[in-house]
Amino acid sequence: MRLINIIGLISFIKLAYAECGTANAQCGGLNFTGDDCCISGYTCKYINESYSQCIEDGNTLNSTSSNETTKKTSTKKTTSKKSTTKKSTTKKSTTKKSTTKKSTTKKTTKTTTSNTKTTKTKSYSPLSSQPYCLSNHYLSPSSSLSISTSSSDSSSSSESPSSSQSTSSSKPSSSSSLTTDVVFPTAKKTIIFNEPYVIKAGEVFDGLAVNGVWTSYGRGVTGHGDCKNVEGGSKDAVFRLESGATLKNVIIGADSIEHVHCIGDGCTVENVWWDDVCEDALTLKGSTNKNAKFYLIGGGARDGSDKIVQHNSAGTVYIKGFYCSNSGKLYRACGNCKSGYQDIRHVIIEDVTTLNVGVLAGINTNYGDTATFINVNANGGNVCNTYTGNNNGKEPPKTGSQCKNQSNCVCK
C-alpha cells in the first residue's frame, strides 16, 4: 500500500508540472514559485521585479520598468532561460479527449463567429481532492503552509489606494515597487451577446480554442462611466456559469454592466482578462453549500471602481496567479446579504500582485469569514480589512485592518 501511495504521489507531481504557463500568464518574479516556462509561441519576459509574463513571440512591450536593466540579475530564474519553451501540448490538452458541440445559443448581434462552441470535459470535477489551482500553478490541499496570524490594527489606513510605499521597517519579503502594468492580451475579435451566455454544468468554454485568437466578449452597453452608481443583476452578465462550469482564455470587454457570474456550487475561471471592470468582475452567488469551491486562476483585471470578486455564496474561493490594478478591492465577502452565512465563507489568495488597489480582501469577522494570504504583494495597499456584517442590507461598518505589509498571513 505504501508503494502505491508513493507511485501515486510521483504521478501527481509529474502531472502538476507537466504544463507551462499559458498565454499571458505569470512565469516569474520575486518569490514566485510557479512554472517559469511558457507554452509554444510565448516567451517568459521580464516586466518588473515582481512579475515576469508569458508574452506572445513578436509582441513588443508597450512600456518597460525603470528597474528593468538593474533588476534583471535578480530574476535570473525567469530571464536566463533562453525561452525554455517546452514542446508543449498545452493547446491541445484543453480539448483532449473531449467533444465539442455547437451551442444552441445564437444570441450575438455582431456574429463575427457563426458557431460559438463549448467544450465538454467529463473528467472535470471541482472537488476538495483536487489541487487548489488547475492550470500552471499547483498547491495541493494537503500542502503545509507557513503563515502567521495577524492581530487587528484599528489605526490602519483607509481603503483608498496608497500613493506611496510604506516606510515601515518591517517590509514583506516579496514587497517591491511595481510601476509598470503587466501586458493584457489584445482582442483580435469582438463578440456581443444579447443576453448572458450560459455555460452548462461541467462544460468548458475556451475562447482561444473556439476562435483561434484572443476575443473580447461583451453586451454592447456604453455610457455607464466609472460605474460607481451602476448595479446590475445576473440578466446583465456576459457569461453565466453553472455548477462545475469552466470559462477560460477570454477577454471581458468594458461594454457590460455585469461580467461573469457563477451560479451554483463552484466554477473555474482561468486566464480570463477584464479590460475595464464595471461594478464586479466575478460574482459568486446561488449556493448555500459550505463545501462549494470557486477557482480564479491566472488572468487579471483593471480599473474596477468597486470590487473584482464579490462572494455572495457560501464556500471557499481560491485566487492564484492573478493580477489586479487600479481597483477598490480584489475580494469582498458580502457584508449585507440576507443569507448572512456563518463560518462558511473563506478565501485563499496566493501568488497575487496588485497595483493601486485599496485592499486585497474584505471579510466579516462576526460571521467567521477568513482570508489566507500566501506570497502576496499589495505594493503598499492594505491586505485585509475587517467589517461587522449584517443581513438587513445596511452598509457594514469597518472594524479594523490586518496583515499590513505581510506577504503570508491569516486574517480572521
**Pair (79, 168) in one structural domain:** no
Instruction: Indicate the pLDDT class of residue 355, thresholds 50, 70 and 90.
Output: very high
Q: Average pLDDT, stretch 38-47?
A: 83
Residue 320 per-residue DSSP state:
E
C-alpha cell of 353?
Answer: 500582485
Contacts of 253 (CB under 8 A, 6+ apart): 187, 190, 216, 217, 218, 238, 275, 276
Q: Find the helix or strand (DSSP H, E) in which 372 lies.
A: strand 370-374
Which stretch of 159-173, 181-195, 299-313, 350-364 has the lowest confidence by average pLDDT? 159-173
Q: What is the pLDDT of residue 292?
A: 96
Q: 65-92: per-residue pLDDT in tens?
A: 333 333 333 333 333 333 334 433 334 3
In DSSP notation, 83-147 reads -------HHHHTTTT-EEEE-S---EEE-SSS--EEEE-TT----TTS-S--SS----TT-----
Question: How many Å apart are CA 263 and CA 197, to the nearest integer?
Answer: 13
210, burial (CB in 10 Å: exposed 0-12, middle 13-18, buried 19+):
buried
Q: 289-299: per-residue pLDDT in tens?
A: 999 999 999 99
Q: What is the pLDDT of residue 80?
A: 37
**Pair (321, 178) in one structural domain:** yes
CATH number at residue 323: 2.160.20.10
Q: Find the helix or strand (DSSP H, E) in which 207 lies.
A: helix 207-211
**Pair (190, 270) in one structural domain:** yes
Which stretch of 14-23, 48-57, 75-84, 184-193 has the lowest confidence by average pLDDT? 75-84
Instruction: Indicate the pLDDT class of residue 181, thresholds 50, 70 and 90.
Output: low
Domain membership of residue 213 (yes or no) is yes
Q: Average pLDDT, stretch 152-173?
A: 36
**Pair (163, 66) in one structural domain:** no
Q: Which domain holds residue 19?
A: 2-88
**Pair (66, 158) in one structural domain:** no
Domain membership of residue 156 (yes or no) is yes
Q: Return the closest-CA partner of residue 245 out of 230, 225, 227, 260.
A: 260
Fill in the amino acid letter for 281: A
pTM of the full structure: 0.66
Q: Average pLDDT, stretch 199-203?
A: 97
Domain membership of residue 141 (yes or no) is no
C-alpha cell of 245?
Answer: 462550469
Q: Last residue of some domain: 41, 57, 88?
A: 88
Helix-strand-coil split of the chain, %, nearest 5:
10, 35, 55
CB 386 within 8 A of CB 332: no
| Tally of domains in the chain | 2
Instruction: Indicate the pLDDT class of residue 40, thresholds 50, 70 and 90.
Output: confident
